[in-house]
Structure 1
Amino acid sequence: MTDETARPSRGLAHSTPVEWAVRALTLLSSIALAILLIATFAGVIMRYVFSAPILGGNEIIELVSVALVMLAMPSAAQREDHVRVDVFDNAIGATGRFLGDILARGISIYLLSLLAWRTWAKLRDAAEFGDATNMLAIPLWPFYGLLALGAALYALVLALQLADVLRAGVSRNE
C-alpha cells in the first residue's frame, strides 16, 4: 500500500541527515547575520552619534562575515539558489547541460575539499600557536573551523547532487 500524498524523492542531497546539517548551519548563519546587523548598527551609532567608535568593530564584522557566508553556502547549494546563466543551454542541448553539470560539480567538489582540508590544517596551526586578532585578541581557530565546516558540507551537498545527476542521466525536459 502506497501513500499517494507522500512527497516524491528529491535526491540524495535532500536526505534527512543532510537536511538537518544544512538547517543547523543555516540557523548558525542566521545568528551570524543578526550579530553582523547589530554590530554594524551599534558601530554606526557609536561613531556618528557619540563620536566614540567601538574598539575592534571591524574585526568583529570581518569574522562574523566569514561565518555568515560559509555557513549559508551549503543551504544555497542544496536548494540550487545560486545564480545561473543559461545563455548556451539551447546551443549545447541536453547532453551539453548534463556534461556541464558534471564538470561544474566535479571541479567545485575538488576545490571545496581542498579548501576544507587546507583550512583544517590552518585551524590546527592557529590553535597551537594561539593566533588571534590584533585589536581584541579574538582566537581565530573557531572561524577557521566554521570555514572548514561550511566548505566540507558544501562539497558533500555537491557530491550528492553529482550522484543524483549521474543517476538521472541526460534530462531532455529542462
Structure 2
Amino acid sequence: MLRKYMDGFIDTIEWIAAIFVGCVVVLIFTGVLLRYFFSASIPDGYDLGRMLLGILIFWGIAATSYRGTHITVDLVWSQANPRWKRIIDIFATLVLLFVVTVQTYTLFDKVLDTWRSNLLTFDLGLPTWPFFALAWIGDVCAVLLIAIRTWRLIFHPDEIHDETELKVAD
C-alpha cells in the first residue's frame, strides 16, 4: 500500500514538471509570435519566462533525481559487479540527498528574502516571491523523491524505476 502511494507521488511530481515545461514552451512561443507578427510583447514576459524557467529547473531536478536519468559518468560503476553497483548507487544517492537538502535549506532563505523585500515585476507589479516559493516546493519534492530512492535502494532495490542500464535491442 505504501508503495502505491509513493509511486503516485512520484508520478504526480513528474506530471507537475511536465506542466511547467508546457508553460515555458507556450510562453516563449506566444512571445515570439507576438513580436514577429504584431510587434508586441507579453507584459512581464521576460520576468515570467525567467521565473518559470527557474521553477522548471527545480521541478526537473525532482523528476530526474528519482529516476536516475540525469547525466552521469559511470566508468567505475559500469565495470563493477552487481553488489558494488548497488553500494555505489547508495553512496551517490546519499551524497545527492545531502547536497539537495542543503540547497533546499538555502533556497528557503531566498524565498523569505524575496518575500520580505516585496520585489515586484516591472510591468504588472506581480510579487515575485510566489515564483520563488514554487521553485522551493519543487526542491522540497526533490528531497522527498531522493529520500524515497535512497530507501528503495537500501531496503527494496527491486522497486527502483532505474533507467541507468541501457537497454539495447538485438
Equivalent residue for 2:88?
100
TM-score by length of 2: 0.75
1:48 alignment partner in structure 2:
36
Structure 1 CA distance for aligned equivalents of residues 22 and 154 of structure 2: 39
Q: Which has the larger radius of gyration?
A: 1
Contact 1:116 1:147 survives alignment (8 Å): no
Q: How does 1:22-171 map to 2 (within 5 A)?
A: 22-167=10-155
For the 8 Å contact 2:17–2:63, the answer to whether it is kept is no
Q: State the secondary structure of the residue aligned to 1:88.
A: helix
Q: CA RMSD in A?
A: 2.7
**Is this contact kept in 2: 1:59–1:135, CA < 8 A?**
no
Identity of aligned residues (%): 21
Residues 25 and 72 in structure 1, CA contact (< 8 A), matched pair in contact too? no
- Are the aligned partners of 2:119 and 2:128 in contact in 1 as well (CA < 8 Å)? yes
**Counterpart contact for 2:51–2:132, Cα < 8 Å:** no
1 CA distance for matches of 2:108 and 2:78? 41
Do the aligned partners of 2:31 and 2:41 also contact (CA within 8 Å) in 1?
Answer: yes
Q: Give the conservation status (yes or no) of the 8 Å contact 2:77–2:88.
A: no
Q: Distance in 2 between matches of 1:143 and 1:112?
A: 19
Corresponding residue SS for 2:38: coil
TM-score by length of 1: 0.73
Distance 1:90 1:47, change over 3 A: closer
CA distance in 1, matches of 2:78, 2:28: 45
Between 1:143-152 and 1:110-119, the stretch displaced more is 143-152
Helix, strand or coil at the partner of 2:35: helix
Q: Deviations over 1:140-166 (max 9, x none)?
A: 222222222222221222222222222
Give the unaligned 5+ runs of structure 1: 1-8
Structure richer in helix, relative to its length: 2
Extract unaligned runs of 5+ from structure 2.
158-164, 166-170
Q: Distance in 1 between matches of 2:122 and 2:111?
A: 17
